[in-house]
Amino acid sequence: MELRLFNTMGRIQEPFVPREAGKVGMYTCGPTVYNYAHIGNLRTYIFEDVLRRTLLHAGYRLVHVMNVTDVGHLTSDGDEGEDKVIKAARERGMSVWEIAEFFTKAFFEDTDKLNIQRPEIVCKATEHIPEMIDLVKRLEERGHTYLAGGNVYYDISTFPRYGELARLDEQDLRAGARVGVDAHKRSPRDFVLWFTRSKFEHQAMVWDSPWGKGYPGWHLECSAMSMKYLGEQFDIHCGGVDHIPVHHTNEIAQSEGATGRHPWVRYWLHAEFLVMDSGKMSKSKGNFLTLSSLEEEGFHPLDYRYFCLGAHYRSQLFFSWEALEAARNARRNLIEHLSGLHPREGWEQTPLSERGEAYKREFEEAIGDDLSTPRALAVLWRAVKDEDLPPEERAVLTVTMDRILGLSLAEAIASDDALEPELLELVQRREALRKQRDFAEADRIRDELARRGIIVEDTPQGPRWKRKTT
RNA sequence: GGCGCCGUACCCAAGUGGUAAGGGAGGGGCCUGCAAAGCCCUUAUUCGCCGGUUCGAAUCCGGCCGGCGCCUCCA
């Protein structure tokens, strides 16, 4: 299939061509594990999962790397502020290491529930300090750094391409005057590569370095780890839109500054935000919802995945409970349709007719067009409801499409799974009672079956049963 | 102050120059012992507003109104 992706670098959609035929190296910015992921964070991981599944579907051999930031970043700019992980540890009475482990586990529990596949490589920042130190040394050798106030800074004036990704303009910065004041910086956009000084005690999280005991700057880990696992240049780098102006901009300066190679990354993809009526969902504002809170309201995690798939990843998506409910209904109806399909045994091997192929092509065109999941979903619906297509083909198409959508639809296509004899007997007894026009007793049995998870529907061909879906 | 995005039916949301996908919700009908499911029909002659370009615009240009994001840790 043909895949076109919107590249933030250049702001243009272009055909995806990997550096090396048949192979893709992809890096996605992972979680900072000092709190639960909120559903806005999760939206980005769902998008990245669709991309990952698409690449696999297209037949590429993929190495997907994701970091886990377990060394905290400061809460504010400059060399003051408090490390988030340390703050969380203090508040919860745990060690920093326990905090990181606890929330890493929680993160993967969420992503598992959302059918988000694990990257080939998941790497922790704290396990790659030597690589980071090495990167700073390389930058130092090439003249991109300066020492001030005990910290090592990146001197962006030595990197002419600085800000290209975000289309930053030197002049823009002045007017707003909202930039943190760090007297040591030569330019407001210079940033710290290695800290040895800060105004708070850093406890366990310090490491030796040529510049003294300290800890890495915020952007270092992604450059160091991505290059360790994917090489000095690779294909795709993803993250949320918020990373464009600072984090990814600085990553580029670090990586290309150290290697002298360009481009470090060929395709930059960014997911837009999930917003609420109170504005952007964020941990600092406290207006965030977690996957667990959705579950507490009776939603299935995949309802949320369906909800996200209903909008394009590059548009802001407005969260509301009503919209989530609509997604839940839609997903249930879809499963309902599928469980009523009853394809014949061995349907998995059914070859697609011309009509079936057309749906598949249409689906791949939608996905190939910068991952248009809303259109892909529309194609799925039309295919599933197409009476002119045999159930076997509809089942095959569903399974194929679901490999990218990840909605666990294959499970819904019950081929002839057997009903427990006891329940089957009830179904049959009820039908006999109906024939005798004893509807009161027949209805009672129908209620009992419903309690036991079986829904009976009467058709001209006799009763039909199915298992209740959640 | 600067950068950028968006405004499509009751709701969510595709479509970005050739005559409005899909889903949800609602209404009517067929079917049914009653249901359920299913099926059929139905809800935008129109895409925030005003101009312009064009044979032709929701789609391009300009202005206005409204919503949002970023420039600071952030998905």
Provide ipTM, 2 decimals: 0.91
Q: Provide the Cα torsion A306, A312, A314, A318; round to 10°.
A: -60
Question: Quick check: A179 CB within 7 A of strand B?
Answer: yes
Least confident of A3-7, A137-141, A174-178, A211-215: A174-178
Residues belonging to the binding site of A for ATP are 283
CA/C1' separation A447–B33 (Å): 16
Query: Which CATH code of 3.40.50.11540, 1.20.120.1910, 2.60.120.1130, 3.30.590.10 fits the domain covering A276-413?
Result: 1.20.120.1910
Note the pLDDT of residue A78.
46
Rounded mean pLDDT, A7-32: 93
Confidence at A204, pLDDT banded by 50, 70, 90: low
CA distance A55 to A235: 12
Return the pLDDT at A201: 55
Q: Which residue has the higher pLDDT, A352 or A201?
A: A352
Chain A window 216-275, residues with Cβ within 7 A of nucleic strand B:
218, 239-247, 271-275
B70 nearest neighbour residue (CA to C1'):
A242
Whether CB of A367 is under 7 Å from strand B: the answer is: no
Q: What is the pLDDT of residue A411?
A: 84
- Which protein residue has its CA closest to C1' of B24? A326
Predicted pLDDT at A170: 55
Domains in chain A: boundaries: 4-271, 276-413
Chain B bases near protein CB atoms (7 A cut-off): 1-6, 11-15, 21-25, 31-39, 67-75
**Distance in Å, residue A390 CA to nucleotide B73 C1':** 54
Query: Quick check: A13 CB within 7 A of strand B?
Result: no
CA A373 – C1' B55 distance (Å)? 35
A40 touches strand B (CB under 7 A): yes
Percent of chain A with pLDDT over 90: 54
Give the nucleotide at minimum CA-to-C1' distance from A336. Answer: B37
Among chain A residues 413 through 432, which have CB within 7 angstroms of nucleic chain B?
Answer: none
Q: How confident is the model at residue A470 (pLDDT cuts 50, 70, 90)?
A: low
Give me the percent of chain A exceeding a pLDDT of 70: 91
Distance A456 CA to B32 C1' (A): 13
pLDDT tens sequence across A435-457: 888 998 999 999 898 888 888 88
> For A4-271, CATH number?
3.40.50.620
Average per-residue pLDDT for chain A: 87
User: Sorting pLDDT into bands at 50, 70 and 90, what band is A290?
Assistant: very high
Q: Which 101-160 residues of chain A approach strand B with CB closer than 7 Å?
A: none
Q: Which residues of A are annotated as a binding site?
A: 29, 222, 247, 251, 283
Interatomic CA–C1' length for residue A338 and nucleotide B42, angstroms: 26
Q: Which nucleotide is nearest to A279 (CA to C1')?
A: B68
A462 touches strand B (CB under 7 A): no
Low-confidence winner among A35-49, A135-149, A345-359, A409-423 (lowest mean pLDDT): A409-423
Strand B lies under 7 A from the Cβ of residue A75: yes
- Give the pLDDT band of residue A360 (cuts 50, 70, 90): very high
Identical fold, A4-271 and A276-413: no
pLDDT of residue A343: 84
pLDDT tens digits for A401-420?
999 999 999 888 865 566 78
pLDDT of residue A185: 83
**Which residue numbers of A belong to the known binding site for Zn(2+)?**
29, 222, 247, 251
Q: What is the 3-state secondary structure (H, E, C) of chain A?
A: CCCEEEECCCCEEEECCCCECCEEEEEECCCECCCCCEHHHHHHHHHHHHHHHHHHHCCCEEEEEEEEECCCCECCCCCCCCEHHHHHHHHHCCCHHHHHHHHHHHHHHHHHHCCCCCCCEEEEHHHCHHHHHHHHHHHHHCCCEEEECCEEEECHHHCCCCCCCCCCCCCHHHHHCCCCCCCCCCCCCCEEEEECCCCCCCCCCCECCCCCCEEECCCHHHHHHHHHHHCCCEEEEEEEHHHHHHHHHHHHHHHHHHHCCCCCEEEEEEECCEEECCEECCCCCCCCCEHHHHHHCCCCHHHHHHHHHCCCCCCCEECCHHHHHHHHHHHHHHHHHHHCCCCCCCHHHCCCCHHHHHHHHHHHHHHHECCCHHHHHHHHHHHHCCCCCCHHHHHHHHHHHHHHHCCCCHHHCCCCCCCCHHHHHHHHHHHHHHHCCCHHHHHHHHHHHHHCCEEEEEECCEEEEEECCC
Compute the average pLDDT of residues A284-313. Answer: 89
Residue A287 pLDDT level (bands cut at 50, 70, 90): confident
Reply yes or no on whether the pLDDT at A117 is more than 60.
yes
Residues A330-348: pLDDT tens digits?
998 898 888 878 788 888 9
Please report the pLDDT score of residue A176 as a whole number: 40
Closest residue by Cα to the C1' atom of nucleotide B13? A311
The pLDDT-based confidence of A178 (bands split at 50, 70, 90) is very low
Residue A390 has pLDDT above 80, yes or no: yes
Q: Is the C-beta of residue A333 closer than 7 Å to nucleic acid chain B?
A: yes
Residue A322, CB, less than 7 Å from strand B?
A: yes
Cβ A372 to strand B below 7 Å: yes
Q: Which two three-digit tokens encode residue A70?
A: 């377990």
Whether A469 CB is under 7 Å from strand B = no
Express each pLDDT in A422-433 by its tens digit: 888 888 899 999
- Answer with the residue of higher pLDDT: A123 or A73: A123
A457 CB closer than 7 A to any strand B atom: yes
